[in-house]
Structure 1
Amino acid sequence: MSEPDLNLLLTLDALLAEGSVAGAARRLRLSPSAMSRSLARLRDATGDPLLVRAGRGLVPSPRALELRERVGPLVQEALAALRPAAALDLARLEREFTLRTREGFVENFGAALLARVAAEAPGVRLRFVPKPDRDNEPLRNGSVDLETGIVGTTTGPELRAQALFRDRFVGAVREGHALSRGRVTAMRYAAGRHVAISRRSTGGGPVDDALAAQALKRDVAVTVSGFAEALALARGSDLIATVPERHTGTLRDGLVSFALPLALEPFTVALLWHPRMDGDAAHRWLRGIVREACA
């Protein structure tokens, strides 16, 4: 059985509203003969005459009267769905957005972001969830609206990305630590005891690669999965934590920070989202204020 031509709904709506072939033709800017052919197709599709001649005019059949109550709203809904979205009214917007970030993001940028939300869209709620891995599935399945991270080989090729800020690795030690005084050289840095940060069970990273290029190696006393844990251990011991500078700004309060004596390139922290949200006006607004909060 062939699928019905949904364009006939527009024709049926016009015929039922006008009650004549000529009126419906004018309404849809068609010729009377073209409208007559469409009426014939509608009669075949519904198995009902729909409009029956009575004197010089046409009167609706019982089936047509029944359809008139249903077809009009259906056509209006379809037309509304195909129109551009209405202008975004932030003052009336009520919605919850979920953002997936690593620790340090909320502490450094959350307050500025919430201030913008409260001022522009008080009905919007934000939910921050941790980012334990680089799996982009939460963006794909819609459980997360936005994510921050570094675009790499594991980033889904279909995802959209926009730069938030540039960052670099720095060292952080407690007050009074040997590296809190004097010039920090690669040899001094490597000679200390370190807390490493890794979400993987094995393998080094760019810091270890840069040290290896100078025939040096860190003495890693402990490995943790997050920045906050590493900085807490550095604050209470002689361990050296190596963390992103901007991402951990407030987390490093009370610690002494220093530039790494290594040939390391800065990296870009980006905002990631799924392309199905490109046209969503509220999502577009949120992306904009996140970028501005991180500027």
Structure 2
Amino acid sequence: MTDYSRLSRLDLNLLVALDALLTERSVTRAADRLHLSQPALSASLARLRAHFNDPILARRGNAYELTPFALRLSEQTGPALEGARRVFETQASWSPADSTREFSIYGSDYGAVTVGRVVTRLAAERAPGVRFRFMLHSPSVVDDAATRLRSADAMLIPHGPMADLPFVDLWRDDWVALVSDDNAVGATLTMADLAALPFVMTYQTRSAFTSAGRQIQQLGIEPRVEVVVESFLALPAFVAGTDRVALIQRALLPRVDREGVRALPLPFDATPISNALWWHPIHERDPEHAWMRDLFVEAGTLVAAEALTA
């Protein structure tokens, strides 16, 4: 059984002071940020030093630096403070029309401008005080999703990289190829073309890749990667006027600048993209979070319908 006796003796205001000190790395700046006097914050720092048995801030010449222990601590303090804030902002009864909650969502620009765009439109009609913060994920964020989603509300990402977390399916999408209007491949793309043409890839590491890009490799073609850009929206700019080819989701076609480029079907049956919304189990019974999840499901249906006309 967890022993809470030590925690019960702590003043949780120290967490606020600790976060400010770790962020500002200065008692003066941290006190200004919290609108406290320097002696008051110095007293909090003394209590933190006693609790952790570590200086937290160590003088180096005319400045202060975080100790190695404090650097490790800084990775945990922000999520812990955010979690505490969420606990005390939770309401027993909640109405979307009266809410002022901000939902934070990790994902790619693909997720933000497709389903994210529709979600914000629906929310503006039903809950005008609700805000959304869309944050670009990275391979490190995805790898550490179980921790990151303790302090964020959800992650927009297709099935594949994620596991062992609650999710809801949103919509299925497929891949098409982008080539320049003047590319010599004509109206039909072949496997030989994919082997010969240089690629623009969106992700190209051992742990970060697109399903279609990986499938090309599994079919025996090693793409000749000329450009890597971690943005789906930027792909047309790196294809237009070149002999390059890129892989892009069909639902994104209405959202990108297609001047100078054209979309072609792939010469193989690409595995469909099964887009989903993922979250941490701590949000499971939060009525506000459940409302947000339902909104994404509704928006996914609308995005799927829109993609059919692209």
Please give the range of the TM-score, normalised by the shorter of the 2 chains. Answer: 0.5 to 0.7
Paired with 2:208 and 2:179, the residues of 1 have a C-alpha distance of: 24
The within-5 A match list for 1:87-236 is: 87-133=93-139, 134-137=142-145, 140=148, 142-152=150-160, 154-157=161-164, 159-179=165-185, 181-200=186-205, 206-207=211-212, 210-212=215-217, 215-236=220-241
Query: Helix, strand or coil: the match of 2:293?
Result: helix
Cα pair 1:168 1:245 within 8 Å, conserved = yes
Please list the CA deviations of residues 53-95 of structure 1 after superposition, one character each: whole Å capped at 9, or x if unmatched.
Answer: xxxxxxxxxxxxxxxxxxxxxxxxxxxxxxxx74431121121
Change (3 A) 1:280 1:225: same
Please list the CA deviations of residues 101-120 of structure 1 after superposition, one character each: whole Å capped at 9, or x if unmatched.
Answer: 10122223333222211111
Change (3 A) 1:236 1:98: farther
Change (3 A) 1:147 1:240: same
Paired with 2:270 and 2:233, the residues of 1 have a C-alpha distance of: 22
TM-score, normalised via structure 2 length: 0.59
Aligned residue for 1:278?
Answer: 284
Aligned residue for 2:299?
Answer: 293
Q: Kindly name which structure, 1 or 2, has the bigger radius of gyration based on alpha carbons.
A: 1
Change (3 A) 1:139 1:283: farther
Paired with 1:142 and 1:213, the residues of 2 have a C-alpha distance of: 35
Alignment partner of 1:267 is 2:273: yes
Query: Helix, strand or coil: the match of 2:151?
Result: coil
Deviation at 1:245, TM superposition (A): 2.1
Question: Which consecutive unaligned segments of at least 5 residues does structure 1 have?
Answer: 1-84
Cα pair 2:211 2:271 within 8 Å, conserved = no
Paired with 1:233 and 1:204, the residues of 2 have a C-alpha distance of: 18
Cα pair 1:105 1:247 within 8 Å, conserved = no
Deviation at 1:283, TM superposition (A): 0.7
Please list the CA deviations of residues 125-147 of structure 1 after superposition, one character each: whole Å capped at 9, or x if unmatched.
Answer: 11111011223437655331011
Paired with 2:128 and 2:223, the residues of 1 have a C-alpha distance of: 49
Deviation at 1:198, TM superposition (A): 1.7
Deviation at 1:210, TM superposition (A): 4.1
Query: Helix, strand or coil: the match of 1:246?
Result: helix
Identity of aligned residues (%): 25
Change (3 A) 1:288 1:199: farther
Which residue identity is paired with 1:146? A
Which residue identity is paired with 1:280? D
Deviation at 1:214, TM superposition (A): 5.2
Which residue identity is paired with 1:148? L
Alignment partner of 1:242 is 2:250: no
The within-5 A match list for 1:31-110 is: 86-110=92-116
Cα pair 2:217 2:223 within 8 Å, conserved = no
Which residue identity is paired with 2:298? E
Paired with 1:202 and 1:97, the residues of 2 have a C-alpha distance of: 27
Question: Which consecutive unaligned segments of at least 5 residues does structure 2 have?
Answer: 1-90, 302-310
TM-score, normalised via structure 1 length: 0.62
Paired with 1:96 and 1:236, the residues of 2 have a C-alpha distance of: 42
Deviation at 1:233, TM superposition (A): 0.4
Please list the CA deviations of residues 163-190 of structure 1 after superposition, one character each: whole Å capped at 9, or x if unmatched.
Answer: 11112221011222223x3322211232
Which residue identity is paired with 1:222? V
Change (3 A) 1:104 1:288: same
Paired with 1:220 and 1:278, the residues of 2 have a C-alpha distance of: 41
Q: What is the Cα-based RMSD across aligned positions, in Å?
A: 2.8
